[in-house]
């Protein structure tokens, strides 16, 4: 569907007829986590919005980086009077978007004095190591491999809830130095540690980064045919074909460096 | 047909879609997002996927029928379709898109034409299967029954 100039991803009439979720916009509750989701794909916007709402987040979904900047008030230099009301706690954006990529959006957010401290998570359907590295180096908090699962969003949510609870006033600051990534026993030691959203100790999801197929987590049920169909066994072609953006030798998808921020199975 | 039989039919039918690789676990993820407050979430997302895909496939046909194929136009469409099919769990469509993209990269027009046919074939298949699935669900609900939750142990 074409973008309609508005901030919400669907026109009100469309949402009414489709009946998806609630489109109410009561004043933002200070304690509620507010997420700005950016994705040019309508299907993906609906899904990510639902994933976030089901984990008790307030969601604003936009279809481009420009609209995201517009919503945040970054694209114009004057301080937005609405700034206090916005209280964006997390920005989650697709990487591949026409016009402005998620990476470019990330850079602009990090250049903004008002929003550079807001955690930015990148989503991508393409598991390209150099891409992931570039985003993390630019200050992205995490990198989610699409299709995004409920467990991925819950992990983000847990992290935010903990952070928001300990913040004072309206500042949603992240700890300056996030702890280095805890690699699971299955991971190779040659993988560089990187800052990522670590799960709460109470969170049953495994560490986000794992090099083994989805069945690595001992607490998950035995691999069902369903999971075999969606296992990496069927997707190496995808990953290798999609390395089109990188041509340097280091981007060769060697098993050692391949990291999927994916939680096995369903939550 | 008795309600229990209908529910069993639905479960068997759904299982067959997974076993045939038509759907993958992402579809189960979508089902997890459906509840009393959003009882039609899956069918609504899938309907949007159908609308989106119909448009993309149309654009692809037009682009590939040009005298000189502009792969810079073709590839983003395929990428989009790959993404949305992946998001709803339409595994075979997604895989067909992956192959399609490699032919785009090679700028192989003949290969792309074949891929488009394959993508369309898989797309109409999953569309047909999902429409059947939703009909089965509707019959159950109309008979006053509940949609059984998918068991993962098959």
Q: Per the CB < 8 Å rule, is A147 touching B19?
A: no
pLDDT given at position A20: 52
> Tens digit of pLDDT for each residue in B84-139?
999 999 999 999 999 999 999 999 999 999 999 999 999 999 999 999 999 999 99
Which residue(s) pair with B50 in the sheet? Answer: none
pLDDT (mean) for A130-137: 95
Percent of chain B, pLDDT > 70? 97
ipTM exceeding cut-off 0.85 for this assembly: yes
Q: Is A18 on the interface with B (CB under 8 A)?
A: yes
> Tens digit of pLDDT for each residue in B40-82?
999 999 999 999 999 999 999 999 999 999 999 999 999 999 9
Q: Per the CB < 8 Å rule, is A46 touching B48?
A: yes
Identify the residue among B98, B101, B151, B154 best suited for mutation to test binding to A, counting A beta carbons within 10 A and taking the highest: B98
Q: Per the CB < 8 Å rule, is A47 touching B30?
A: yes
- Which domains are delineated in chain A? 38-161 (3.40.50.2300)
Identify the residue among A39, A230, A241, A263 best suited for mutation to test binding to B, counting B beta carbons within 10 A and taking the highest: A230
The pTM (predicted TM-score) of the whole model is 0.70
Average pLDDT of chain A, as a whole number: 67
pLDDT given at position A161: 65
Token representation of residue B121: 């074939």
Rounded to whole angstroms, the Cα distance separating A8 from A16 reads: 13
Q: Per the CB < 8 Å rule, is A226 touching B88?
A: no
Rounded to whole angstroms, the Cα distance separating A124 from A129 reads: 11
């Amino acid at each position: 569907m074409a973008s309609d100039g508005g901030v919400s991803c669907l026109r009100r009439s469309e949402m009414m007829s489709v009946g998806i979720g609630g489109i109410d916009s009561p004043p933002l509750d200070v304690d509620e986590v507010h997420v700005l989701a950016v994705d040019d794909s309508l299907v993906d916007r609906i899904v990510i919005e639902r994933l976030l709402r089901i984990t008790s987040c307030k969601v604003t979904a936009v279809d481009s980086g420009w609209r995201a900047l517009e919503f945040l008030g970054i694209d114009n230099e004057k301080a937005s009077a609405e700034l206090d009301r916005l209280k964006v706690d997390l920005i989650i954006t697709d990487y591949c978007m026409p016009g402005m990529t998620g990476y470019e959006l990330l850079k602009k957010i990090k250049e903004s004095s008002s929003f550079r401290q807001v955690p930015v998570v990148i989503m991508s359907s393409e598991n390209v190591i150099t891409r992931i590295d570039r985003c993390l180096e630019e200050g992205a908090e995490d990198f989610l491999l699409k299709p995004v699962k409920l467990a991925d969003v819950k992990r983000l949510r847990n992290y935010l809830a903990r952070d928001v609870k300990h913040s004072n006033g309206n500042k949603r600051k992240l700890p300056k130095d996030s702890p280095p990534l805890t690699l699971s026993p299955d991971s190779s030691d040659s993988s560089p540690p990187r800052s990522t959203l670590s799960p709460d100790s109470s969170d049953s999801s495994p560490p986000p980064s794992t090099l083994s197929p989805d069945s690595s987590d001992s607490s998950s049920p035995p691999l069902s045919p369903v999971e075999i169909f969606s296992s990496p066994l069927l997707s190496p072609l995808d990953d290798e074909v999609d390395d089109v953006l990188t041509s340097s030798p280091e981007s060769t998808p060697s098993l050692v460096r391949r990291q999927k921020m994916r939680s096995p199975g369903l939550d | 047909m008795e309600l229990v039989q209908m529910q069993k039919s639905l479960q068997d039918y759904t299982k067959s879609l997974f076993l045939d690789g038509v759907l993958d676990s992402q579809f189960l993820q979508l089902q997890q997002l459906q509840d009393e407050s959003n009882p039609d979430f899956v069918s609504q997302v899938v309907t949007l996927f159908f609308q989106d895909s119909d448009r993309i496939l149309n654009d692809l046909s037009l682009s590939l029928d040009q005298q000189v194929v502009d792969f810079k136009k073709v590839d983003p469409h395929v990428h989009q379709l790959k993404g949305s099919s992946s998001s709803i769990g339409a595994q075979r469509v997604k895989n067909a898109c992956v192959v399609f993209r490699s032919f785009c990269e090679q700028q192989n027009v003949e290969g792309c034409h074949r891929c488009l046919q394959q993508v369309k074939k898989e797309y109409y298949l999953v569309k047909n299967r999902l429409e059947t699935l939703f009909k089965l669900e509707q019959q159950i609900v109309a008979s006053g029954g509940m949609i059984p939750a998918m068991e993962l142990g098959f």
